[in-house]
Amino acid sequence: MAQENILETRIDNRLIHGQVGVTWANHLGANLVVVANDKVSTDEVQQSLMDMVLPDVIQARFFSLQKTIDVIHKASPKQKIFLVVKDVHDALTLKEGGVDFDHLNIGNMHYEEGKKQISSTVSVDEKDIAAFKRLAELGVELDLRKVPSDRGQNILDLF
């Protein structure tokens, strides 16, 4: 699959919800949302709940990280893909596995014990920072942005 089929790759620990399923997918012109997440790939209840958020004209696929690496390059040219991952580590796994994206939208990474909040929607720890730096070394532009109308910011500027 040509990189052009992946319109955007986004980190959002909520995966598909209203902001992703409607705002972002419509803004990008996506007709397919691929959720790359090992846990959700086997959880039909979660998949059904996320599927309900999407407009009828947008399909969803729920793949493990390895299956995403194995099959995304086989996508039809007609598929305009919005790739969604839960965290920076999943994004790095995909990139190092050969998934061809050079832009990463960081939308939502919830606060947890041991993480520091760097924006209203993103909290990171040292492992997250190391993964972001590795993605940058691999040539990925790191764009912190909640919604398309927000002004993006390079997340590396916040560390």
Burial 92-109 (b: 16+ CB within 10 A, else e): bbbbeeebebebbbbbbb
CATH at residue 93? 3.40.35.10
Helix (H) or strand (E) holding 105: strand 103-108
Answer for the pair 35, 50: CB distance below 8 angstroms, yes or no. Answer: yes
Tally of domains in the chain: 1
- Residue 19: what pLDDT? 72
C-alpha 146 chain-centroid distance: 12
- Residue 39: what pLDDT? 95
- Residue 87: what pLDDT? 96
* Mean residue pLDDT across the chain: 92
- Residue 2: what pLDDT? 46
- DSSP 8-state symbol, 80: -
Range of the domain at 46: 3-158
- Residue 1: what pLDDT? 40
Residues of the chain with pLDDT under 50: 1-2
Q: How far apart are CA 68 and CA 39, in angstroms?
A: 13
Which residues are designated catalytic?
17
